Chain A
Amino acid sequence: MRDVRITLAVATVLRVFVEEVGALRYGYELMQLTGYPSGKLYPILARLEAAGWLSTEMEQVDTSVEGRPPRRWYRLTEDGAVAARQALAALQQQITPRRIGSGYLSPAGGHA
């Protein structure tokens, strides 16, 4: 499995998958859940698939019975789930503002 550069867009997509690990997601469903257009979402899915974070499979449907073509499922791989959680945790840590501890002086009266 390869590393993936975690941008905000990648993190948003990963968040959807991590919320329900093992769930099968369709491309259009992901577009709706993330709010990203196809031109933004599909390159991310391709990157995650190429890196081994996502696995895909084609839906098995009888097109003549269902009256529609099959769709492709995306799902987190086991390793991908671990890596996604770690990446999201690292990102969370990165964007959380540092709290000023009790050991620091703060202005009395609340006005600078």
Chain B
Amino acid sequence: MNGLWVIGSVLVGVVTLAFSTALGDLLSEEVRGRLDRLPSFLLHLAARRMPRKIRGRHLADWNGELHEILRGADAAPITRLWHGLRYAVGLLRVSPTIASSLDHQGVAVTMARGANGELHRADLVSVVIPFDHPLLARRVRDWTDAHQVYKAVMSFFGNLPGPPGQRRATSRILYRIDDRRRRIVLQAATPFTRVGHGAHVANNALPTQVENGCMVRFRLDVNAVRCQHQTGRRIPVPDKEISGWLAPRLSPALKTITIVNVKVTYRRTGHGPVRIARLTGTACVGDKEALLALIHAGVGRAKAYGCGLLSVQPAAE
């Protein structure tokens, strides 16, 4: 009886050993396969940091080289992995720089003038720039940091006129961060020196079909604050009172203002958080020239932090 037990135990042990060895081999193969794909995965991530139109070219280049690197070190899996990772991580870090270097000329953004020459204030250029633009990808690590975004936006321009601290205002640079569509809308009365990479010129500052008395839809990110009489402190305007706060600021350009949607968001600055109310609504054009001036100058405070840019479109019939 004891003999049978011993034989049985030995058999079970042998089977267990064989099973665990096979399982170990399978696991090892699985891990090896996945690790081998890691550098390639990182190269895909690196390519995703570049504008879409040049991703394909660079990914093909890098994959060709990666194949060579991995083949050269195929005898040792750890060495192979190390070389592949080193190659891919380096590119992951600098891919926006590479894209930016190749954008040496950028897309020549012509100054957008209105169809009818008398709209002298239409010398504004409005450009839509995706978040993955190299200049933005490189400079903006955190889109809730308004100061980072501001610095990135200003890098689209060369030397700007005006005294330090007033250069944005002198060149009438306004922008809005569109988190949902992952892009910024940037408007300026000065030529852009570096754009390109999927950025495109948006509509003119004011569509030509907008006339006095016509209904328009508008969009505006605004820092709605009110100055407290006793203390001089600026306090945020409650959502319910924004309509009343906004009306005198848009008058006489826009009248009969109806706010359709208000969404409040906060961004960090060096002076504390800035409260941004994202407004969409409809209004009636009261004075077209005043509206152009308003689009040109912006609305309210915190313009350096993405507030004040007023966009107008004719309302659908």
Select the stretch in B86-94, B248-256, B293-301 that faces chain A: B86-94
Q: CB-CB contacts of A27-60 with B at 8 A, as 1s and 0s?
A: 1100100000111101100110111000000110
Identify which of A64-72, A80-88, A103-111 touches chain B.
Answer: A64-72
Q: Closest approach, in angstroms, between the C-beta of A88 and any C-beta of chain B?
A: 21
Distance, CA A20 to CA B89, complexed state (A)? 30
Asked if B91 contacts A38 (CB within 8 A), the reply is yes
Contact B67 A40 (CB under 8 A): no
Q: Counting CB contacts under 8 A, is B170 at the interface?
A: no
Q: Is B65 an interface residue (CB 8 A)?
A: yes
Query: Which residues on B sit within 8 Å (CB–CB) of A46?
Result: 97-99, 101-102
- A39 and B93 contact, CB distance less than 8 A: yes
Chain A binder among B56-64, B121-129, B283-291: B56-64
Dominant secondary structure at the B interface:
helix
Count how many chain A residues have C-beta atoms less than 8 Å from C-beta atoms of the other chain.
23
Interface size bracket, B side: 20 to 34
Instruction: Evaluate contact between A39 and B94: CB separation under 8 angstroms.
Output: yes
Shortest distance in angstroms between A36's beta carbon and chain B's nearest beta carbon? 9
Chain A residues with CB under 8 A of B60: 58, 69-70, 72
Pair A69/B104 contact, Cβ less than 8 Å: no
B62, B65, B86, B87 pick with most chain A CB within 10 angstroms: B65
A2 to B105, CA, bound (A): 11
Q: Is the CB of A28 within 8 A of B65?
A: yes
A99 to chain B, nearest CB (A): 39
Q: A40 contacts which chain B residues (CB < 8 A)?
A: 90, 94
Inter-chain CA distance A38–B58, complex, in Å, is: 13
Query: With A2-B104, A43-B98, A50-B104 in contact, is A70–B64 under 8 Å at CB?
Result: yes
Given contacts A2-B104, A43-B98, A69-B60, whether A26 and B68 have CB atoms under 8 Å apart is yes
Which of these, A2, A50, A58, A68, contacts B68 with CB under 8 Å? A68
Q: Is B65's CB under 8 angstroms from A43's CB? A: no
Given the known inter-chain contacts A28-B68, A71-B65, please indicate yes or no for A43 contacting B101, CB distance below 8 A. Answer: yes
Query: Which residue of chain B has its CB nearest to the CB of A52?
Result: B104
Q: Which residues of B contact A2 (CB under 8 A)?
A: 104
Within 8 A of A (CB), among B47-81: 60-65, 67-69, 71
B90 & A38 in contact (Cβ 8 Å cutoff): yes
- With contacts A39-B90, A42-B91 known, is A28 near B69, CB below 8 A? yes
Contact B68–A43 (Cβ < 8 Å): no
Q: Please name the residue on chain A nearest to B93 by beta carbon.
A: A39
Find out whether the CB atom of B87 lies under 8 angstroms from the CB atom of A71.
Answer: no
B97 surroundings in chain A (CB, below 8 A) = 43, 46
Q: Given the complex, which residues of A lie within 8 Å of B88, measured CB to CB?
A: 38
**B102 & A50 in contact (Cβ 8 Å cutoff):** yes
Q: Which residues of B contact A69 (CB under 8 A)?
A: 60, 63-64, 67
Are A47 and B101 within 8 A (Cβ)? Answer: yes
Write out the residue numbers on chain A whose beta carbons fall within 8 Å of the beta carbon of B69.
28
Alpha-carbon distance between A26 and B90 when the two chains are bound, in angstroms: 17
Known contacts: A38-B87, A69-B67. The answer to whether A27 contacts B61 by CB under 8 A is yes
Minimum CB–CB distance for A18 against chain B, Å: 21
11 contacts between A and B (CB under 8 A): A27-B65, A37-B87, A38-B86, A39-B90, A42-B91, A42-B94, A43-B98, A46-B97, A49-B102, A50-B101, A50-B103
- Residues of B participating in the A interface, judged by any CB pair closer than 8 Å: 60-65, 67-69, 71, 86-91, 93-94, 97-99, 101-104
- Please provide the 3 A-B residue pairs with the shortest distance between their CB atoms, ordered closest to farther: A39-B90, A38-B90, A71-B64
Question: Known pairs A39-B94, A42-B98, A46-B101. 19 more at Cβ < 8 A?
Answer: A26-B65, A27-B62, A28-B68, A28-B87, A31-B87, A37-B90, A40-B90, A40-B94, A42-B91, A42-B94, A46-B99, A47-B101, A49-B102, A51-B104, A58-B60, A69-B60, A70-B60, A70-B64, A72-B60
Which residues on A are within 8 Å of B, measured CB to CB? 2, 26-28, 31, 37-40, 42-43, 46-47, 49-51, 58-59, 68-72
